[in-house]
Amino acid sequence: MPNFCAAPNCTRKSTQSDLAFFRFPRDPVRCQRWVENCRRADLEDKTPDQLNKHYRLCAKHFETSMICRSNAHFKL
């Protein structure tokens, strides 16, 4: 099943791109920051666990300096 980018007006999906897709963080503070930056009102009532399980953002919405690769894990 492909991952779709949750950013408004972004039509990227994982099967059509070599971009990385990142899960929303489970940490409530960081997750809230992602929701605010997405500017999607429909995500505001979802829990961090729901967002982590069902929503992704593609790498196009992050500056390279925001992506930290450590032991093959991404930390945003």
Q: Is the pLDDT of residue 67 over 90?
A: no
- Distance of alpha carbon 61 from alpha carbon 39, whole angstroms: 13
pTM of the model: 0.77
Total Cβ atoms within 10 A of residue 56:
20
3, 13 Cβ separation under 8 angstroms: yes
- Between the CA of residue 52 and those of 1, 27, what are the distances in Å? 16, 10
pLDDT in tens, 7-42: 999 998 888 767 888 999 999 999 999 999 999 999
